[in-house]
Chain A
Amino acid sequence: EVQVLESGGGLVQPGGSLRLSCAASGFTFSSYAMSWVRQAPGKGLEWVSAISGSAGTTYYADSVKGRFTISRDNSKNTLYLQMNSLRVEDTAVYYCAKEVRSQLLSANWFDPWGQGTLVTVSS
Chain B
Amino acid sequence: DIQMTQSPSSLSASVGDRVTITCRASQSISSYLNWYQQKPGKAPKLLIYAASSLQAGVPSRFSGSGSGTDFTLTISSLQPEDFATYYCQQSSSSPYTFGQGTKLEIK
B74 proximal to A (CB < 8 A):
no
B53 proximal to A (CB < 8 A):
yes
B43-71 interface bits toward A, Cβ cutoff 8 Å, 1 = contact, 0 = none: 11110011001010000000000000000
Interface of B is mostly: loop
B94 lies within 8 A of A95 (CB): no
Q: Which residues of chain A (67-123) have a CB below 8 Å from chain B?
A: 95, 100, 102, 105-116
How many A-B contacts if CB must be within 8 Å?
70
**Which size bracket describes the interface of B in this complex?**
20 to 34
A19-35 interface bits toward B, Cβ cutoff 8 Å, 1 = contact, 0 = none: 00000000000000001
Question: In the complex, how many angstroms separate the beta carbon of A45 from the nearest chain B beta carbon?
Answer: 4
Question: In the complex, how many angstroms separate the beta carbon of A71 from the nearest chain B beta carbon?
Answer: 17
| A105 vs B55: C-alpha distance when bound (angstroms) | 13
8 more contacts with CB within 8 A, not counting A105-B50, A105-B53, are A44-B100, A45-B101, A62-B95, A102-B49, A105-B31, A109-B89, A113-B45, A115-B43
